[in-house]
């Protein structure tokens, strides 16, 4: 038997772990948001805090959840934020589309409700904007509605809807998976589109942290190369990774188990490669671009038991 000794020097820190590393993601997909989180303020059957399930909120607070991304996911590029503000009875009922699903969405969970959830959880909000079916103006208006302290029409509308103080949302995603469900862009076309969005968004809120859509290595390199002269418009590059090779939820084989562990290791390699590509393109620039692994997880065939 080999004996190993591990010494931990608790008084010699070598770095700081960002709380954002432990962030979470809530999408209008299945029962994640409706029923899973939101049951409505008028619900008399399920205990809730201002419409959010008390049992779920209590459980999430124990984790805790330092950052929460919403409303998607693929749903983000179908979502129009104005549908989710104002009196509930006046909100539009839309076709909720995400990952092939088509369900009724009454928009009762909107911007104000989501911000309230973040307050309940003491989480930093991260809003994902609509590039696929939206416009630059629409996303600029959402940023202004949420963050402006100037008494513009949008800021007054926010106040009339119950929130006189700005929400102060710092992190904004410029689309989601725009190489696929968010519009089937190629990397160069999205890079140009991102540059246009980011330029206009900076005028509305110079302090906003903007998250660009990344993918695999070739896309990321092309995106960064196309925006080589405008890297200061990028604060974070988003990448996603789901582990789908690990077999079923239950009754998996030993081989499938170790395949899943290998996928986890491959994800770390993916993050490192992305960081290296960013570093190579930045060169000696003082500006820094973070890697946002803002979607990841195990995707098993669901057990039907």
Task: Determine if the peptide bond prior to 10 is cis (ω within 30°).
Answer: no
Distance CA 83, CA 88 (A): 10
Q: Is 177 among the catalytic positions?
A: yes
> How far out from the chain centre does Cα 229 lie?
26
Residues 177, 209, 218, 225: which is the catalytic one? 177
Distance CA 232, CA 228 (A): 9
Place of tokens 């995400």: 98
What angle, rounded to 10 degrees, do the helices at 187-204 and 217-226 form?
50
What angle, rounded to 10 degrees, do the helices at 217-226 and 254-282 form?
10
What one-character DSSP code corresponds to residue 100? T
Contact 32, 295 (CB under 8 A): no
Q: Is 295 among the catalytic positions?
A: yes
Bridge-based pairing of strands 124-129 and 101-105 is unpaired
What one-character DSSP code corresponds to residue 302? P
Distance CA 219, CA 200 (A): 24
Secondary structure of residue 218 in the 3-state scheme: helix
Residues 188, 216, 263, 295: which is the catalytic one? 295
Active site residues: 177, 295
């Amino acid at each position: 038997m080999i004996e190993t000794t591990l010494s931990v020097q608790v008084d010699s820190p070598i770095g700081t772990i960002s709380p954002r590393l432990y962030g979470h993601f809530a999408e209008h997909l299945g029962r994640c948001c409706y029923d899973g989180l939101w049951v409505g303020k008028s619900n008399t059957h399920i205990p809730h805090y201002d419409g959010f399930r008390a049992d779920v909120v209590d459980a999430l607070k124990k984790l805790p959840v330092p950052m929460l991304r919403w409303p998607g996911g693929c749903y983000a590029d179908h979502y129009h934020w104005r549908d989710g503000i104002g009196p509930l009875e006046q909100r539009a009922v839309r076709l909720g589309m995400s990952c092939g699903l088509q369900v009724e969405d009454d928009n009762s969970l909107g911007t104000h409700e989501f911000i309230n959830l973040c307050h309940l959880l003491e989480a930093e909000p991260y809003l994902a904007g609509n590039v696929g079916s939206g416009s630059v103006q629409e996303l600029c208006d959402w940023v202004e509605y949420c963050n402006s302290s100037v008494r513009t029409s949008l800021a007054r509308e926010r106040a009339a809807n119950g929130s006189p103080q700005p929400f102060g949302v710092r992190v904004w995603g410029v689309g989601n998976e725009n190489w696929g469900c968010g519009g089937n862009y190629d990397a160069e076309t999205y890079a140009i589109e991102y540059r246009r969005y980011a330029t206009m968004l900076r005028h509305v809120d110079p302090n906003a942290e903007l998250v660009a859509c990344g993918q695999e290595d070739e896309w990321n390199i092309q995106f960064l190369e196309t925006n080589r002269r405008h890297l200061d418009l990028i604060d974070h590059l988003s990448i996603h990774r789901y582990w789908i090779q690990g077999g079923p939820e239950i009754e998996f084989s030993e081989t499938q188990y170790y395949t899943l562990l290998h996928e986890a290791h491959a994800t770390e390699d993916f993050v490192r490669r992305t960081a290296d590509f960013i570093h190579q393109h930045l060169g000696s620039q003082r500006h820094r671009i973070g890697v946002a692994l803002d979607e990841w997880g195990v995707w098993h065939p669901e057990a039907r038991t």
